[in-house]
């Protein structure tokens, strides 16, 4: 007969003799892992753009928050089309489409800067994010399915560990090449307006964002060329014939652990994007440092994120993923509470350390959520990527709270999100699994 048991009982030991990457799949694994590094760059340049555009376009924090809104609307709007395309033509074409869209949006920064139009920049960011939606919809499931199911969370955490290295690259590039270090006082602004040089100053600040994005567009085209010439494993066929697959109907997507996983992913991305988007403003407000120093500190928090990714990839050999997720989420609830209440260097350090505990959340929630979806993995992956809309929904909320009250109070939003993720890890992450007895 059949009985239902928790999935944790089917794998009592986390250690596995299976290699993380099977023989013959290393080259495509490396190329797909490179995508995790690449898409982190535009994601984290947004944190620099928020501060830069507040200065060059004289925006409020709420108005600058629409940078993230436009960006994550691109993720949301293209995730389902990406899944449909890949169900019909495979993962590889999805990756190539994503890289071409990424390059196109990056090249749009040049005319946007010449036009001096904030709306044009938002359009360019939307196109970039549309490309990233294709890349994430393809890359995460590819890595999950590149080897044995029992070490899928470990494999995805390892590949995702290169994502914060791209984040660090982005913040260093943004801090050095986008931030000019010139922060005018109200009196200096009035003087420039009086002598007619203020418009030229604003244009010089706007044009600083162009070069990093042109380089990013060229790099995307180079990677697309390499992937086009590489043979990928037949993961699409493996999905259709996965043992125990129930992919004949959309009912597969109604599994409790998957639905709650999408909700948890929404909360996580909102928390991550909000935490980083207002980190520079938080540090400047409560540590009293200039924008470039705050930018370097943002690089430090991303370094903590990278360390956490590599460490969690190792810990997942021994600790069940849902348990590790619950511990990390609970730690972040406490750290954010400290950042809200300790308006000094203690709060800054707590906020910096929160990135360490955020590190394993996205890949772990993703892998837990799509577990057992079989031939519906692409569709499930699309919905998981659509959950990135949390970054668009919650970042402006933080901006509104920050403008109305203070930036530290705004951090109650990611604090609530981390609490929701902890509840998901404790109660909703493990699917019931039917086994023969």
pLDDT per residue as tens digits for the range 177-187: 898 877 777 78
pLDDT, residue 425, reads 92
pLDDT for res 167 = 82
pLDDT of residue 431: 63
Q: 217, 74, 88: which is closest to 134 by C-alpha?
A: 74
User: What is the rounded distance in angstroms from the CA atom of residue 281 to the CA atom of residue 64?
Assistant: 12
φ, ψ for residue 372, nearest 5 deg: 80, 10
CB 215 within 8 A of CB 178: no
Strands 432-436, 2-6: parallel, antiparallel or unpaired by DSSP? antiparallel
Q: How far apart are CA 115 and CA 206, in angstroms?
A: 10
Residues 6+ apart with CB under 8 A from 334: none
SS3 of residue 5 by DSSP: strand
CB burial class (10 A; 0-12, 13-18, 19+) of residue 97? buried
Q: Considering only CA atoms, which of 277, 368, 275, 363 is closest in space to residue 313?
A: 363
Gap between the Cα atoms of 303 and 58, Å rounded: 30
Which pLDDT score is estimated for 207? 93
Q: What would the pLDDT profile of 33-45 be if each residue is shown by its tens digit?
A: 999 999 999 988 9
Which residues contact residue 69 at a Cβ distance below 8 angstroms, ignoring those fewer than 6 apart?
A: 392, 395, 396
Q: What angle do CA 37, 162, 109 make, to 5 degrees?
A: 20
Q: Are 212 and 84 in contact (CB under 8 A)?
A: no
Helix segments in 278-388, DSSP class H? 279-287, 291-315, 321-341, 345-358, 361-370, 377-386
Claim: this prediction has a pTM higher than 0.85: no
DSSP 233: P
Of residues 330, 351, 335, the one with CA closest to residue 274: 351
Q: With CA atoms as reference, report the closest residue to 121 among 177, 199, 197, 69.
A: 69
Are the C-beta atoms of 396 and 62 separated by less than 8 Å? yes
- pLDDT (tens digit per residue) in 130-172: 999 999 888 888 888 888 777 777 788 888 888 888 988 998 8
Burial of 240: CB neighbours in 10 Å, binned 0-12, 13-18, 19+: exposed
pLDDT for 374: 67
Residue 195 CB neighbours (<10 A)? 7
Distance, in Å, from the CA atom of 310 to the CA atom of 408, rounded to the nearest integer, reads: 30
Rounded-to-5 percentages of helix, strand, coil across the chain: 80, 0, 20
Phi then psi for residue 318, to 5 deg, are -120, -20
Classify domain 24-232+247-436 at the CATH superfamily level. MFS general substrate transporter like domains (1.20.1250.20)
3-state secondary structure of 433: strand
CA distance 272 to 264: 12
Q: Which residues in the chain come in under a pLDDT of 70?
A: 1-17, 235-254, 372, 374-375, 377, 431-437
Residue-level pLDDT at 389: 83
Among the listed residues 130, 158, 157, 170, the one whose alpha carbon sits nearest the alpha carbon of residue 48 = 170
> What does the pLDDT look like over 8-39, one tens digit per residue?
333 444 455 677 888 888 899 999 999 999 99
The reported pLDDT for the residue numbered 246 is 45
Which of 47, 120, 114 lies closest to 297 in space, CA to CA?
47
Percentage of the chain modeled with pLDDT above 90: 36
């Amino acid at each position: 007969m059949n009985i239902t048991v928790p999935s944790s009982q089917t794998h009592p030991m986390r250690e596995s003799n299976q290699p993380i990457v099977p023989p013959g799949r290393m080259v495509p694994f490396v190329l797909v892992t490179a995508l995790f590094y690449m898409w982190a760059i535009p994601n984290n340049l947004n944190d620099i753009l928020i501060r830069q555009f507040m200065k060059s376009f004289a925006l409020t924090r709420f108005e600058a928050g629409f940078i993230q809104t436009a960006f994550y609307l691109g993720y949301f709007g293209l995730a389902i089309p990406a899944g449909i395309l890949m169900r019909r033509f495979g993962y590889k074409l999805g990756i190539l489409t994503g890289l071409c869209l990424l390059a196109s949006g990056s090249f749009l920064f040049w005319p946007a800067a010449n036009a001096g139009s904030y709306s044009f920049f938002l359009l360019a960011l939307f196109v970039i994010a549309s490309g990233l939606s294709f890349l994430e919809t393809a890359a995460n499931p590819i890595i999950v399915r590149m080897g044995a199911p029992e070490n899928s969370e470990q494999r995805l955490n390892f590949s995702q560990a290169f994502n914060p290295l791209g984040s660090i690259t982005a913040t260093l590039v943004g801090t050095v090449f986008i931030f000019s270090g010139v922060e005018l006082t109200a009196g200096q602004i009035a003087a420039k307006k009086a002598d007619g040089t203020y418009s030229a100053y604003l244009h010089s600040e706007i044009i600083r964002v162009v070069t990093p994005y042109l380089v990013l567009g060229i790099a995307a085209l180079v990677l697309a060329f390499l992937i086009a010439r590489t043979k990928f494993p037949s993961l699409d066929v493996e999905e259709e014939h996965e043992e125990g697959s129930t992919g004949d109907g959309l009912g597969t997507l109604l599994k409790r652990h998957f639905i709650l996983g999408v909700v948890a992913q929404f909360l996580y991305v909102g928390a991550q994007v909000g935490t980083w988007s207002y980190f520079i403003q938080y540090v400047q407000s409560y540590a009293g440092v200039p924008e470039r120093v705050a930018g370097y500190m943002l690089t430090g928090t991303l370094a903590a994120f990278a360390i956490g990714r590599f460490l969690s990839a190792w810990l997942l050999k021994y600790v069940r993923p849902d348990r590790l997720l619950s511990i990390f989420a609970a730690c972040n609830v406490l750290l954010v509470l400290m950042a809200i209440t300790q308006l000094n260097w203690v709060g800054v350090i707590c906020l910096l350390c929160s990135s360490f505990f955020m590190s394993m959340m996205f890949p772990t929630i993703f892998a837990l959520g799509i577990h057992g979806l079989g031939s519906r993995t692409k569709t499930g992956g699309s919905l998981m990527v659509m959950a990135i809309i949390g970054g668009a929904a919650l970042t402006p909320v933080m901006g509104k709270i920050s403008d109305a009250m203070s930036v530290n109070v705004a951090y109650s939003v990611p604090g609530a999100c981390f609490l929701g993720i902890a509840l998901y890890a404790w109660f909703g992450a493990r699917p019931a699994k039917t086994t023969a007895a």
